Amino acid sequence: MTGTKHADKRRMRNRIAPLVYCTLLLPIIAAAPAAAQAPNDQVVELGLMSWRPSPELRLSTGALAGSSIDEVDFVEEFGIEDKSFPDFRVALGRNHKFRFGYVKFSYEQDATIRRTFTFQGRTFTINTPASADIKWDLWTFGYEWDFVSRDRGFFGVVADLKYNKVQAAIDSPALRSTAATDTDAPVPTIGVIGRGYVTPMIAITGEFTGLKVSSGDFDVKFTDFDINATIIPSRAIGIGAQVGYRSVIADYIVDEDTGDLKMQGPYFGVVARF
């Protein structure tokens, strides 16, 4: 019970903190001198980031999905370590923007099982050699309306469709066939976004989206928080560097599959605005 209370407190902090960070951008937009700011007149934004998240990947599948005896912590059981992934982003428009994003997480790891667990109806016992293969495709299709737009920055609302495709498989010489699951979990999200120009060359952007959808055998909770700083030395060229932190959390129950997935960590890359 104590662990549950601590987990609830952590979830509450995860929900409140992004809203606080986005709200902190409002004074930058409203109070910074206009003469010191870069005009907010770009209509195309392209970004390619190298994101290195720390993963949490807990999955279960089958008739006992969601129970503690059938949940597999892939990071702990297989010793999955942090690695980098390309994160592609596009925004088109000035005050009304169409958004697209894509990132694919992929892990392959061999290990010797250290505890007995069941996955997809197959039981894996202690000291059994096994290999895990996990893929998570995250697509973002969305719309953004910046209802406050000034030369020094903007503040707006976001409506996205986050399409998740999660594939997980465990193979072992002890099995006749691979234990695998393939889950699609599309979920709409809503949220806020804000950007403020600290100087004509430096912009701070914060964004938070999330939602819970529950209908029959489909129950998904999804949050996506992103804060970053962008440096573009020359507006004439429009290309610069970006560094930030992103947190994606997905909890789902789809038919007989459940997942508790988190990707949280820093990123850096190249951005072009024109």
Q: What is the pLDDT of residue 3?
A: 42
- Domain count of the chain? 1
Quick one: pLDDT at residue 76?
93
pLDDT at 17: 52
Residues 135-174 pLDDT 10s: 999 999 999 999 999 888 999 999 999 999 999 999 999 8
**Under-70 pLDDT residues of the chain:** 1-40, 62-69
Q: Which residues of 195-232 are buried (b: 16+ CB within 10 A; e: fewer)?
A: bbbbebeebbbbbbbbbeeeeeeeebbbbbbbbbebeb
- pTM of structure: 0.84
pLDDT at 234: 82
Contact 184, 165 (CB under 8 A): yes
For position 235, what pLDDT does the model report? 75
Question: For residue 192, what pLDDT is reported?
Answer: 98
Residue 103: CATH number of its domain: 2.40.128
For residue 117, give its domain range: 2-273
Cα dist from 225 to 175, 191, 231, whole Å: 40, 10, 20
With contact defined as beta carbons under 8 Å apart, do 169 and 179 qualify? yes
